Amino acid sequence: DTAVSQTPKYLVTQMGNDKSIKCEQNLGHDTMYWYKQDSKKFLKIMFSYNNKELIINETVPNRFSPKSPDKAHLNLHINSLELGDSAVYFCASSRTSSGVNEQFFGPGTRLTVL
């Protein structure tokens, strides 16, 4: 009964490939997020969806495309992977999009681009 789950946990791929990461939350939350954590542990928000609607879209290359088929799922597709995309990607959710809510994080997906 994991609250926020991500698959896969590890992803190793070659430059130029396209890959997807999936995220699911069973908390009944309205809002979901994607974060990128680099090798220096710096965590930066990429996207956020509220009830399937995109509400935060940070300056991210358009090779990254999020998709939310329903409010319990938020997937991240990455085209033409580059070396600099190597990082840990975290999905998170919160009850609403209000900033007073705590965010619940998934276990992360470690992406390595060779």
Partner 1 sequence: SQQGEEDPQALSIQEGENATMNCSYKTSINNLQWYRQNSGRGLVHLILIRSNEREKHSGRLRVTLDTSKKSSSLLITASRAADTASYFCATDGDAGGTSYGKLTFGQGTILTVHP
Q: What is the dihedral of CA 47, 79, 43, 73, to 10 degrees?
A: 50
Q: Torsion-angle region of residue 73: left (phi > 0), alpha (psi -120 to 50) or beta?
A: beta
Q: What would you report as the CA-atom Rg of the chain, rounded to the nearest whole angstrom? A: 13
Distance of CA 75 to the CA centre of its chain: 7
The residue within the footprint of partner 1, chosen from 31, 68, 81, 113 (CB under 8 A), is 31
Should residue 27 be labelled a site residue for partner 1 when binding is judged by CB under 8 A? no
The residue within the footprint of partner 1, chosen from 33, 68, 75, 113 (CB under 8 A), is 33
Should residue 106 be labelled a site residue for partner 1 when binding is judged by CB under 8 A? yes
Nearer to partner 1 by Cβ, of 75 and 97: the residue is 97
Window contacting partner 1 (CB under 8 A); options: 19-27, 64-72, 77-85, 89-97:
89-97
Tokens of 40: 């220096």
Q: Please report, as ranges, the residues that interact with partner 1 according to CB under 8 A.
A: 4, 31, 33, 40-45, 48, 50, 55-56, 90, 92, 94, 96-108
